[in-house]
Chain A
């Protein structure tokens, strides 16, 4: 007992101040950005990107990365002959619409449907909902076919470093108690029914956050016989958090974004 108490006193506080204070991200591998001005349109990264996330338009000399698909592998930076692709340490990447994560407007058109989920709820109602959830949010996590990387990072929200409960957010065991679903994975065909049932079991009003490249777009597992291209083909999504996996702080940022609590 004495030893236990000694240990408890030894490290009084490990919890980081994020999101109240920014975190030192100098070591983080964040998103890679391609500067069209330096790019010579050789197409090397487009053909080798493991997640086929890079879009290039030779006629308008434009190139960019679709961050909902990118798996943050940094390969494009490594192979770019002109140094146009550079990995930054930006990790707060969550967005409310998929189009905001995409570089090429041409591809978005077919996805416009999913972005409309916001318009279904009228905007005033939305404000009210967020006020209600504001400082007390219950989350149910659903793994719909991840590699478990994203789930470990969500687990990390409960560790002493991130301790998400200090923000009034906690995880619950049943969707019936939840205000928000935090969904990882590509919505594999075997999980689609379970995901839909979980969504239906969650009382309205509710928020859905897609965590990781898999949930945003299918990531590296897109287009196989057993997967689907992102959870928004099954349930409406309010916020997309890119990353493979997004680090815990990036997930916190995404959750707060869904609540309009980010600056």
Chain B
């Protein structure tokens, strides 16, 4: 078993510093280690073993007599293994050693923990606020258990400080939070010299709603509905990740028919979302014909969703332990027909746009995200795959019945808009094929293995491939079937810094286009 081998290897190197070790849910290895040695241990895992840091979060475990704990989550994406390093925080000091200098992707997580828990990352190169804007008062940490979820602290009169770029002819262009289009709010600060962008700083968290705090102490059932509302067009991917975690905690294997049904919905969501992104790219390149072609296909995909469940956003489909009802029954033929229609129209449209050299000229070599930067920042999903990081949760951590179905991960390397667009186009075709396969092989049977109660203080990860990429949820249950801690990390969280890098050196008018090629979620990032 690979978990055991990994443990042996780590014990050989860090025998004295590993306090406890335990495997959970088949592929999660939890190690509690000496907090003084976290730099050495994490660097070893990251550099020697080559596991990326995919998540880092804190948990207020004072009522469990352990105080505050930090979890560092590393992933072995070839073996499908999660290595979780846990350290305890000295409650007198409330400090941790910052990993950011060795592992760049730790930077945002450490700032997040600092804002929400008041645990200071010592040695962080840029320890400013992330979640809260300048006006949030000092000393208020919402994710500490003693903070009341309804408490609204009085805002201080302070502004956010932005990075200043100096030099002759450099000026700043502030944009947002309310934008010209029908999109979510966020503030962008461009530092430009003439046309090219030298630096972009994104001030997000305008739509921060306190979702993680909101879920604490709530019933596992209610949190399912909250998880559906984390990010509008990733409803299914998020609720699926949440269900997965609870199903692991309850040790329930959901019926085969439900697994197939979930694949159909998950892929339908991806198809809808990608078609929307493609329409967006064409719109921002002023290519009206293609925009409306993609919007038409997207409308058809929504039609298929309406047909299946009466809800365009696939809400109220997932249930803990399966799906709400047998959505596919009797609708297979109609769905198949609809999918084939989308596929043939998509083929035609793609041929037309690829032959349009004016359009291709605009997207090629624009907004390049280099492979090195992408991997340092742990860029995920189509954004990462376009830069050569060929990882997909459906392959690395197969869930539902993905390991029985055939599909390819697109391969691209250039990391420009064109590659991201092509990745999405190819994934649309794969999604359609996956849906057809899942319908084909769907066995009879029931679709729900109801979960009514869960043991307290158990925890598990749920991992899904959302349309935007790797999506991780970590759930710890509390007493009476409630949630003790719910950590959500959507793909957008990883990809926002990647976007800020990809725009550097490009001209300001190309920003909307580059932005659309990533199409990140603000709500999913801000929570």
Could you give, for residues 230-243 of chain B, a 1 whenever the CB lies within 8 Å of some chain A CB and a 0 otherwise? 11110100000000
What's the least CB distance linking A185 to chain B, in Å?
A: 7
Query: Nearest CB to that of B213 among chain A residues?
Result: A224
Determine if B316 and A74 form an interchain contact, defined as CB atoms under 8 angstroms apart: yes
Q: Is the CB of A152 within 8 A of B232?
A: yes
Known: A7-B352, A141-B182. A73 touches B210 (CB 8 A): no
Q: Is the CB of A145 within 8 A of B232?
A: no
Choice from B232, B235, B289 contacting A151 with Cβ under 8 Å: B232
Give the distance in Å from the alpha carbon of A89 to the alpha carbon of B207 in the complex. Answer: 31
Determine if A225 and B152 form an interchain contact, defined as CB atoms under 8 angstroms apart: yes
**Interface 9-mer from A128-136, A155-163, A254-262:** A155-163
Determine which of B233, B289, B293, B315 lies in contact with A148 in the assembled complex, contact meaning CB atoms within 8 Å. B233
Q: Are B182 and A171 in contact (CB under 8 A)?
A: yes
B296 in the interface, Cβ–Cβ < 8 Å? yes
Q: Which of A73, A146, A247 contacts B207 (CB 8 A)?
A: A146
Cβ of B178 and Cβ of A198 under 8 Å apart? Answer: yes
- B 216-236 to A, binary, CB cutoff 8 A, 1 in contact else 0: 000101101110011111010
Kindly list chain A residues whose C-beta atoms are within 8 Å of the C-beta of B299. Answer: 14, 156, 159-161
B209 touches A186 (CB 8 A): yes
On whether the beta carbons of A146 and B178 are closer than 8 Å, the reply is no
Any B CB within 8 A of the CB of A217: no
Task: Say whether A11 faces chain B, with CB atoms less than 8 Å apart.
Answer: yes
Given A149-B229, A190-B208, A224-B150, check contact A174 B180 (CB 8 Å).
yes
- Bound form: Cα–Cα A71–B147 in Å: 27
Q: Establish whether residues B233 and A149, one from each chain, have CB atoms under 8 Å apart when the complex forms.
A: yes
A149 to B236, CA, bound (A): 12
Specify which chain A residues have a CB less than 8 angstroms from the CB of B231 in the assembled complex: 147-148
A202 CB → nearest B CB, Å? 11
Residue contact B182 to A245, C-beta cutoff 8 Å: no
Is A142 at the interface (CB under 8 A from chain B)?
Answer: yes
Contact residue among A4, A75, A221 (Cβ-Cβ distance under 8 Å from B352): A4
**A73 to B313 CA separation, bound complex (whole angstroms):** 12
Chain B CB within 8 A of A191 CB: yes
Q: Which of A3, A153, A161 contacts B348 (CB 8 A)?
A: A3
Contact B206 A191 (CB under 8 A): yes
The answer on a CB contact under 8 Å between B226 and A7 is no
Chain B residues lying within 8 Å of A152, measured Cβ to Cβ, are: 232-233, 276, 313
Does A194 contact B348, Cβ atoms closer than 8 Å?
A: no
Give, as a whole number of angstroms, the nearest-CB distance from A196 to chain B: 11
Across the interface, which residues of B come within 8 angstroms of A118, CB to CB? none
User: How far in angstroms is the closest Cβ of chain A from B153?
Assistant: 7
Flag if B229 contacts A147 (CB, 8 Å).
Answer: yes
Tell me if A145 and B313 are in contact (CB < 8 A).
no
Partner of B232, one of A148, A188, A191, A220: A148
A73 with B232: in contact, given A188-B208, A194-B178 (CB under 8 Å)? Answer: no
Structural contact, A224 and B214, CB atoms closer than 8 A: yes
Stretch of B30-38, B119-127, B304-312 lying at the A interface: B304-312
A37 part of interface (Cβ distance < 8 Å): no
Contacts of B292 in A (CB 8 A): 159-160
Q: Does A223 contact B (CB under 8 A)?
A: yes
Closest to B203 in A: A190
Closest chain B residue to A198 by CB distance?
B178
Q: Are A190 and B315 in contact (CB under 8 A)?
A: no
CA distance in complex: A184, B265 (Å): 26
Q: Are B232 and A185 within 8 A (Cβ)?
A: no
Cα of A149 to Cα of B180 in the assembled complex, Å: 18
Asked if A90 is at the interface of the complex by the 8 Å CB criterion, the answer is no
Q: Could you give, for residues 1-43 of chain A, a 1 whenever the CB lies within 8 Å of some chain B CB and a 0 otherwise?
A: 0011001100100100000000000011100000000000000
Give the shortest distance, in Å, between A160 (CB) and chain B (any CB).
Answer: 5
**Is A225 a contact partner of B147 (Cβ separation < 8 A)?**
yes
- In Å, the complex CA distance between A57 and B407 comes to 55
- Are B296 and A14 interface neighbours, CB within 8 A? yes
CA distance A48 to B320 in the complex (A): 15
Write the A73-90 contact mask toward B (1 if CB under 8 angstroms, else 0): 111001000000000010
Neighbouring B residues of A142 by C-beta, 8 Å: 178
In the complex where A29-B311, A188-B206, A226-B209 touch, is A148 in contact with B225 (Cβ < 8 A)?
Answer: no
Taking a contact as CB atoms closer than 8 A, the residue among B153, B306, B316 that contacts A73 in the complex is B316
Q: Smallest CB–CB gap between A154 and chain B, Å? A: 6
| Nearest CB of A to B400, in Å | 22
Is the pair B312, A143 in contact by a Cβ cutoff of 8 Å? no
| B contact residues vs A (CB 8 Å cutoff) | 133, 142, 147-153, 155, 177-178, 180-185, 205-211, 213-214, 219, 221-222, 224-226, 229-233, 235, 276, 289, 292-293, 295-296, 298-299, 302, 306-307, 309-313, 315-316, 324, 348-349, 351-352, 521-523
Known: A156-B302, A223-B150. 15 other contacts (CB 8 A): A29-B311, A51-B225, A142-B178, A147-B229, A151-B183, A152-B276, A173-B180, A173-B181, A188-B206, A188-B208, A191-B206, A191-B207, A194-B178, A226-B142, A226-B209
Sample (26) of A-B pairs whose CB atoms are under 8 Å apart? A7-B348, A11-B296, A27-B310, A28-B310, A50-B226, A75-B221, A78-B324, A143-B178, A143-B207, A145-B185, A145-B206, A146-B207, A146-B232, A148-B184, A148-B231, A149-B313, A161-B299, A174-B180, A186-B209, A188-B208, A190-B133, A191-B207, A194-B185, A194-B206, A220-B226, A244-B315
